[in-house]
Amino acid sequence: MAWRYECGPCGVTTRWLPKEQASAKRDEHRDTDHPGMIPTAEVLESNAKPITKDPAALRRWAVITAVCLFAWSIQSMR
């Protein structure tokens, strides 16, 4: 998973980076271009897909849930 920083007031955007590097770039940008203030409308976004928009992940979780429920029902019958 990668992260990207975008500064709202000036439109500066980083490339996709690990979260720690994107946060460091944000801090560096604040210190050099906006010293003494925190810019409004900043965005630190991830490129990860939400699980609701990933059918394969939903199927995996459904299978895991079904297996767990099956194991629980077998265990509770004993």
Q: Are 1 and 46 in contact (CB under 8 A)?
A: yes
Tens-place pLDDT, residues 14-69: 999 999 999 999 999 988 988 888 777 888 888 887 777 778 888 999 999 999 99
> What count of other Cβ atoms lies within 10 Å of the Cβ of residue 32?
8
- Look at residue 24 in the predicted model and tell me its pLDDT: 94
- Look at residue 42 in the predicted model and tell me its pLDDT: 86
Residue with tokens 């939400």: 50
Closest CA to 8 of 31, 36, 32, 29: 29
- Look at residue 14 in the predicted model and tell me its pLDDT: 92
Q: What is the pTM of this model?
A: 0.59
- Look at residue 19 in the predicted model and tell me its pLDDT: 92
- Where exactly are the structural domains of the chain? 1-47, 51-78
